[in-house]
Copies of this chain bind each other. A is one copy, B any other.
Amino acid sequence: MIRPPAEIGMQLADVDTPALIVDLDAFERNLAAMANNIAAAGVRIRPHAKTHKCAVIARRQMALGAVGVCCQKVSEAQALVQAGVPDVLVSNQVVGSRKIAHLMALSREARVGVCVDDAGNTAEIGKAAAAQGIVIDVLVEIDVGAGRCGVPPGEEALALARQVASTDELRFAGLQAYHGSAQHIRDYAERGRAIDSAASMTRATVESLAREGIECETVAGAGTGTWQFEAASGVYNELQAGSYIFMDVDYATNLDESGAPFTDFEHSLFVYSTVMSRPVRERAVLDAGLKAFATDCGMPRMADFESVAVLKASDEHGVVDLTASNASVGVGDKVRLVPGHCDPTVNLHDWYVCVRGDRVEALWPIVARGCVW
């Protein structure tokens, strides 16, 4: 693992760049705000660790009441369990004998669950569990509008749930019903309608299963864009929001009930970068590009300057347009960027440099960075 770009006790201005910065005050306010929201709503939270990939953060979330965390990959779950996280749901399909073998081994070290959406894969997981003498929690994933994984709600979902429930080594734990594409619908009412639709499909599936005597202990879903709708739905009981701890440009573009930008949570994650070139008045060049921040949701936003935009990014450079600005920006100056999309940005770094005010208070390893399988 790469050495951290800072030392504890250092001033922020002395941190080497590019670095991934966590503003601890803002981060802790986000953690506490979600914990309070969840307690008030009477549901559980199992935050998504694909956002942070960090055992320190997972433990902080659990200390505030989270029942565990989610991961998308077996290797991610492995990294977190090995760093002491006791309860991880792989909120995703696990396909292939090698991955399934690792999942089984992991379930001896911690409470581990997995999602399924295919009869053959379910049978393979059941056989592997039987061979190891393990019983594993299984959620059936249903597609409630995202158009990605998950069986259609209705007869296919019921058939898969019956298969799980009738396999001794699989414990049917409920439904995974995440509506991913609803997270980024900007309009509040429209976002609410998407979740109403998801909740209604989910409720029908839960009720059909109940009529057959198959109970859904867990009905899981929700993200940072929609959690209040799932919390109020009366059907979801375990929320999987992840990005609320950091926020990003994309989530901050969502609108609230009044049509104003979403302010439930604050930006606490920044890519810290140095101006490495100022060749002409109109242009500054940053030492952070495609390898320091993700651009799938657009360019990062300059946190400390009005009317100054990151115009484009190449592999190791970010070009800043100063045409419309009189900002004093010189070679060696350091700036904070708000990532367009937090999850894939985090995955580019090995360390969080955690600052309180201007002082580096902690360095947290991103233990599941790069855990793609």
Q: How large is the interface on A (under 10, 10 to 19, 20 to 34, 35 or more residues)?
A: 35 or more
* A75 touching B2, Cβ below 8 Å: yes
Residues in chain B near residue A277, CB distance under 8 A: 93, 95, 117-118, 148-150
Residues in chain B near residue A316, CB distance under 8 A: 50, 72-73, 92, 372
A278 contacts the other chain (CB 8 A): yes
* A95 touching B332, Cβ below 8 Å: yes
* A99 touching B16, Cβ below 8 Å: yes
* B372 touching A147, Cβ below 8 Å: no
Chain A 80-104 interface residues, beta-carbon cutoff 8 Å to B: 92-93, 95-96, 98-99
The secondary structure that dominates the A interface is loop
Q: Residue among A5, A17, A96, A371 with the most chain B CB within 10 A?
A: A96
* A291 touching B147, Cβ below 8 Å: no
* B343 touching A315, Cβ below 8 Å: yes
* A279 touching B373, Cβ below 8 Å: no
* B17 touching A373, Cβ below 8 Å: yes
A131 contacts the other chain (CB 8 A): no
* A347 touching B99, Cβ below 8 Å: no
A40 contacts the other chain (CB 8 A): no
With A150-B279, A332-B96 in contact, do A350 and B370 touch (Cβ < 8 Å)? Answer: yes
* A147 touching B319, Cβ below 8 Å: yes
What is the bound-complex CA distance between A315 and B92, given in angstroms?
Answer: 12
A331 contacts the other chain (CB 8 A): yes
Residues in chain B near residue A331, CB distance under 8 A: 95, 118, 120-121
- Subset of 5 A-B contacts with CB under 8 Å: A5-B373, A120-B331, A148-B317, A290-B343, A348-B370
| A residues with CB within 8 A of B | 1-2, 5, 14, 16-19, 50, 72-73, 75, 92-93, 95-96, 98-99, 117-118, 120-121, 143, 147-152, 180, 274-280, 283, 285, 287-288, 290-292, 294-296, 313-317, 319, 331-332, 341, 343-344, 347-350, 369-373
